[in-house]
Amino acid sequence: MTKPRVRDLLERKGDPLQLEALTGDVGLDREIPTSEASSPGLVLAGYTKRFAAHRLHILGETEVTYLASLDATARRRALETLFQFDLPCIVISKGQDPPADLLELARAKGVAVIRTRLKTAEFYRRLKPFLDEAFAPATTVHASLADVFGVGLLFFGRSGIGKSECVLDLVERGHRLVADDVVHITRRGNDVLIGRGHELSQHYMEIRGVGLIDIRALFGIRAVRQQKRIEVVVQLEDWEATREYDRTGIDGQTTQVLEVTLPLVTVPLNPGKNLTVVCEVVAMNHLLRYSGVDSARLFNDRLLKRLAERRQLQEYLEEDNE
């Protein structure tokens, strides 16, 4: 995984962090080694035990005011204590002017000092999604991803089995393509997987015998989306007459992607099967289960109840001696 650099913070599209470099190009190519950020805290007072130097360090109003309250000698000593560590970057919040000694030592150590106009808490809030995404576990899979009734269906299957054709039919029925053939997956938090297409082939689809087609150009903007949470994995397989397939759905299958457990639906393919409708039902059934209605278990409960009633009736008739 390529770690982000300090320069990436400054070059974020739309400038949501409102940053400016106070030390020019110094230290902008340093890597940010972790997704965590903190303030130097007691290090400025000389206590360096348990100091996490590898984090991005933010000097808020408290730290800057504290440094300003020190005499020149004490301030220099405090800053030298801070810069004895290999820091990735220092951020000054609330548009404050840092001490001249801080900029001097930062340039000497090759550490970037950048300033944001945001308050410290707001900067933390905006910084966290960027760092979480940059350090999120990720993988690339050979699959297709579609948004069907708001449910992200990730289609797996051997090459040529019909993943693209299935998604194309879903798009024609009003659903949305996210990615075809190559799906980049990142994990957010502990249990959320986000899928998107490759930046070059996004919204393009390969149909054997036809070639590459542009789904957005053919069906319009409503037929595509940039990314989607993956909620169900659909495994397309060739039909095997000797294999037993799940016919009730009571004992649901699961699979893992990036250590996240997802429902798995295996769909065997044979001539005449309306795969598109089956996939729509998979999505609707997932929504139904999410709302607390499990059709398979409800049917099983009804069946067990009926069997119990018949058993009671049979026992009653056997005990009736008249």
Active site residues: 142, 163, 181, 247
Q: Please give the torsion angle defined by the CA atoms of residues 9, 14, 19 and 20, in that order, rounded to the nearest 10 degrees.
A: 100
What is the rounded distance in angstroms from the CA atom of residue 88 to the CA atom of residue 292?
48
Q: Which residues pair with 147 in a beta bridge?
A: 152, 176
CB atoms within 10 A of CB 113: 23
What is the rounded distance in angstroms from the CA atom of residue 81 to the CA atom of residue 209?
68
What is the rounded distance in angstroms from the CA atom of residue 175 to the CA atom of residue 26?
49
CB atoms within 10 A of CB 314: 10
Q: Are 163 and 235 in contact (CB under 8 A)?
A: no
- When computed from its CA atoms, the radius of gyration of the chain, rounded to whole angstroms, is 29
Q: Are 135 and 271 in contact (CB under 8 A)?
A: no
What is the rounded distance in angstroms from the CA atom of residue 305 to the CA atom of residue 313?
12
What is the rounded distance in angstroms from the CA atom of residue 18 to the CA atom of residue 15?
5
Q: Locate 40 and state its tokens.
A: 């130097």
Q: Are 234 and 154 in contact (CB under 8 A)?
A: yes
